[in-house]
Amino acid sequence: MYDILIKGGMYPDFEANRMVKGNVAVAGGKIVALGEVDGEAKKVIDASGRVVSPGFIDIHMHEESFINEGKEYVISEMMLQMGVTTCMGGNCGSARQSLQMFQDVVEELGGAPTNYMMQAGYNSARTAMGIGRYDAASQEQIAELAEQMKADIDNGAWGISFGLEYDPGITFEEVMQVLNAQPQEDLFVSMHYRDDSTGAPDAISEMIRIANESGKKFQISHLSSCSAMGQMADALKEINEAVAKNPKLDYDTYPYNAFSTGIGTAVFDDGCFEKWGKSYENILMTSGKYKNQFCTKEMFEEIRRDDPKQYVVAFVMNEDEIADAIANPSCGMVASDGIVREKSGHPRAAGTFPRVLGKYVREDKVISLIDALRKMTLAPAKRLELSDKGRIAVGCDADITVFNPDTIMDGATFDSLYIKPVGIDAVIVNGTLALEDSEIVNDRAGVFIPGPFVK
Ligand SMILES: [Zn+2]
Helix (H, G, I), strand (E, B) or coil at 353: helix
Q: Do 422 and 438 contact (CB within 8 A), yes or no?
A: yes
Is residue 266 over pLDDT 90? no
Domain CATH number, residue 207: 3.20.20.140
Is residue 349 over pLDDT 90? yes
pLDDT in tens, 72-97: 999 999 999 999 999 999 999 999 99
- Ligand 1 centroid, distance to 218 Cα (angstroms): 14
- Dist. CA 436–CA 441, nearest whole Å: 7
Q: Is 16 within the bounds of a domain?
A: no
- Ligand 1 centroid, distance to 29 Cα (angstroms): 33
Per-residue pLDDT band for 150 (boundaries 50, 70, 90) equals very high
Q: Of 390, 417, 439, which residue constitutes the final position of a domain? A: 390
Q: Is 427 within the bounds of a domain?
A: no
- Ligand 1 centroid, distance to 171 Cα (angstroms): 17
Per-residue pLDDT band for 359 (boundaries 50, 70, 90) equals very high
Q: Do 374 and 330 contact (CB within 8 A), yes or no?
A: no
Q: Which domain holds residue 359?
A: 55-257+317-390
Q: Of 390, 411, 439, which residue constitutes the final position of a domain? A: 390
* Residues in CB range of 2: below 8 A, 6 or more apart: 25, 26, 27, 32, 33, 39, 40, 41, 42
- Ligand 1 centroid, distance to 31 Cα (angstroms): 35
Q: Are 178 and 242 found together in one domain?
A: yes
- Dist. CA 372–CA 361, nearest whole Å: 7
Exposure b/e, 412-433, CB count within 10 A at least 16 = b: bebeebeebbebbbbbbbbbbb
- Ligand 1 centroid, distance to 28 Cα (angstroms): 37
- Ligand 1 centroid, distance to 307 Cα (angstroms): 20
Is the whole-model pTM more than 0.75? yes
Please state, for a pLDDT cut of 90, what percent of the chain lies above it: 91
DSSP per position, 365-380: -SS-HHHHHHHHTHHH
Q: What is the pLDDT of residue 52?
A: 98
Of the candidates 169, 166, 170, the one whose C-alpha atom is nearest the C-alpha of residue 178 is 170
pLDDT in tens, 39-55: 999 999 999 999 999 99
- Ligand 1 centroid, distance to 40 Cα (angstroms): 47
Q: Are 217 and 198 found together in one domain?
A: yes
Q: Are 169 and 301 found together in one domain?
A: no
Is residue 194 over pLDDT 90? yes
- Dist. CA 232–CA 318, nearest whole Å: 9
- Ligand 1 centroid, distance to 60 Cα (angstroms): 9
Average pLDDT, the chain: 96
Beta-carbon-side half-sphere exposure of residue 450 (alpha carbons within 13 Å): 13
Q: Do 211 and 248 contact (CB within 8 A), yes or no?
A: yes
pLDDT in tens, 18-42: 999 999 999 999 999 999 999 999 9
Q: Give the total number of structural domains in the chain.
A: 2
